[in-house]
Amino acid sequence: MNGVVNRQKQEIERKKSNNIEHIETRIPSPKTTGAENYKRHITYMFQHFEALVTFYDFQTARIRRSNYIGNQKATDHAINILINGSTKYNKNRRKNTRRNKGKRRKLNSRYTRDLSNTKQSKKGKQAARAFKKKFEEGDKSKMPMIIFGDGLKNKSHVQIKGLRHGVIDKLYRQLKRRENLGELLLLDIDEYNTSKTCNGCLVKNLENLKYGGHKIHQILNCNNCHIFWNRDVLASKSMFTIATPIWSGNGSPSVF
């Protein structure tokens, strides 16, 4: 999302071509209790000190900086999708539809015309401000509420090869920060009961659908009112049922 993978590839290539990879893979471990082993580590490091220092130069610093910036941009972007809606769920944000193109052309022409005519006069400034308002969406007195299930939390330490990990914690921290800025409301919910209680009758009497002696994990059947639920749909509906009374200040409903 932010180019880290590409940069890593380039860095590995550069390491290979400078013979640094060969040096680095052979470093004797400093994690030892034996003085002799540690001495070996130190002598090795001093032997290759020159090569390592010349390799880790401005180029590496630049890459680290780009990674850092990219990282922050990516999390911010993710949160912005949650707050403002992405192009997927908010058609106005799409760039290349014909209608949007026309709208943009109109706005752009107005923007450039106003600025060029008035040389930062009062009118020009006003026009610029009016233009900026177009980016803000919706009613400002409304605030998005983001529900965070605890099933997502504390999973970051589980590392799966080839998959991104540690993202949720970052997102959560960023969400907390935005909450402090007053841009959204964050609500933590205990997920445990959300897929155990029927959303139609609010009775805890659900069973997995059985087919040929096998339980189907994804589909639940309410024994009380006989509704079939998709597990994920049920969970999100339950979260909404929990969130609404909390929002109006009545506390979480007793079934959950």
CB of 206 to Zn ion, least distance (A): 8
Q: How far, in Å, CA of 35 to CA of 56, rounded?
A: 28
Q: Find, among 70, 79, 219, the residue nearest to 148 by Cα.
A: 79
Site residues, Zn ion (CB under 5 A): 198, 200-201, 222, 224-225
Q: At what angle do helices 167-180 and 58-84 cross, to 10 degrees?
A: 60
Q: Are the C-beta atoms of residues 216 and 209 closer than 8 Å to each other?
A: yes
In the bound state with Zn ion, the residue whose beta carbon lies nearer, of 187 and 201, is 201
Q: How far, in Å, CA of 124 to CA of 112, rounded?
A: 10
In the bound state with Zn ion, the residue whose beta carbon lies nearer, of 201 and 246, is 201
In the bound state with Zn ion, the residue whose beta carbon lies nearer, of 79 and 220, is 220
CB of 200 to Zn ion, least distance (A): 4
In the bound state with Zn ion, the residue whose beta carbon lies nearer, of 41 and 237, is 237
CB of 201 to Zn ion, least distance (A): 3
CB of 147 to Zn ion, least distance (A): 22
